[in-house]
Amino acid sequence: MNKILGHEHVRTAFGLALQGERLHHAWLLYGVKGIGKASLAEQLAALFLCESPDMQNRQACGQCHSCAMFHAGSHPDVSKVERLYDSKKKKFNRDINIAQTREALDFLALSGLKSKRRVLMVDGADLMNNQAANALLKGLEEPTEGSLLLIVCHDLMRLPATIRSRCMMQACSPLNKADMTQVLAQQGLDEQLVPLTTDLGQGSPGRVASLLDGQHAQALRAWQDMLTDLQHSDIGLMRKWLDKHVKDIPHDLIANMVLSAVQSDLQEAQSWQKSSTVYDALVSVASWPKEVVRHTLRPAPALLAYILQLRSALKIRV
């Protein structure tokens, strides 16, 4: 199993509370998307259930019967609530519904009766609809002995205040540069893409997860090559590239690569007036993802127009 990096303060707080037998029954882990909050929740759950935990490093042993079942995904005292995939509609449900929350709370209520300890994880808690959130609140108000609720969300304000106030709140930060680099390497990212990806990811490995796909990585390297000298790059090739990849590579990555490619040009601009022309063009590229939302079927021409605008702005500047 890969080492989980970052979020040291959360693991310390949890470990100390567990060791001191004063663990709060509900923890709320929040922070931006893609930084490993759900993995952190799993790590805490495994630690909580482990039969011989390493309290110094605040880690589950990984060897005991409980750990073996946990990693096999068959631990009888672990349950998880998340948005369900509708195989008929071929997409995820819009929200987490009350039936899911109720069922999970029934499971958690058997802690102390059927088993000594039980854990319920709620991933993407900000996707609970009102009824589901109200049902969860009931579980927070009447915890059973040995029950632990681990709630994960990124949009904290979408959770009712009544839920927030009953939880041990833990802010999770984006990873620092060293951890980010290490996580990407662990995940097997194309070495040549690591520096660029570390910048683009802004501390969130999840943001750049699509680059782990070998074909995507290769495509993005080609995109990067076209951007190194944007003024002289072949617009025909760029159009071809966009037509081919715009549907499977996240738009913000494509646009952000354009932005980072011309950033140094912008910094070197000698006068405010000249740099502001480039800056305005950059803003157009940055606003592209919004355009995509509105015109999902023809995104590539929109970005291409912005890139052309940016190229001419760069020419004016030079």
| Shortest Cβ 1–Zn ion spacing (Å) | 12
45 binds Zn ion (CB under 5 A): no
193 binds Zn ion (CB under 5 A): no
| Shortest Cβ 243–Zn ion spacing (Å) | 51
In whole angstroms, what is the distance from residue 60 CA to residue 67 CA? 7
120 binds Zn ion (CB under 5 A): no
| Shortest Cβ 108–Zn ion spacing (Å) | 21
Chosen residue from 60, 151, 238, 278 binding Zn ion by CB under 5 A: 60
47 binds Zn ion (CB under 5 A): no
CA quadruple 162, 134, 84, 116: dihedral positive or negative? Answer: positive
| Shortest Cβ 222–Zn ion spacing (Å) | 46
Q: Which of 288, 299, 308 is nearest to 233 (CA)?
A: 308
78 binds Zn ion (CB under 5 A): no
SS3 call for 169: strand
| Shortest Cβ 115–Zn ion spacing (Å) | 16
Q: CA of 102: how far to CAs of 27, 38, 81, in Å?
A: 19, 21, 10
| Shortest Cβ 259–Zn ion spacing (Å) | 46
**Closest CB to Zn ion among residues 60, 153:** 60
Q: CA of 38: how far to CAs of 18, 23, 109, 180, 227, in Å?
A: 19, 19, 22, 16, 35
Chosen residue from 44, 67, 108, 172 binding Zn ion by CB under 5 A: 67
64 binds Zn ion (CB under 5 A): yes
Which among 58-66, 122-130, 227-235, 263-271 is the span making contact with Zn ion, rule CB under 5 A? Answer: 58-66
304 binds Zn ion (CB under 5 A): no
Q: What angle do CA 65, 84, 157 make, to 5 degrees?
A: 95
SS3 call for 273: helix
Beta-carbon contacts of 29 under 8 Å, excluding residues fewer than 6 positions away, are 10, 37, 40, 41, 150, 151, 152, 153, 170, 172
> Are 60 and 24 in contact, with CB atoms under 8 Å apart?
no
In whole angstroms, what is the distance from residue 156 CA to residue 29 CA? 9
In whole angstroms, what is the distance from residue 81 CA to residue 284 CA? 40
Which among 65-73, 159-167, 200-208, 308-316 is the span making contact with Zn ion, rule CB under 5 A? Answer: 65-73
69 binds Zn ion (CB under 5 A): no
18 binds Zn ion (CB under 5 A): no
137 binds Zn ion (CB under 5 A): no
49 binds Zn ion (CB under 5 A): no
| Shortest Cβ 152–Zn ion spacing (Å) | 22
Tell me which DSSP letter residue 7 carries.
-
Contacting residues toward Zn ion, per CB under 5 A: 50, 60-61, 64, 67
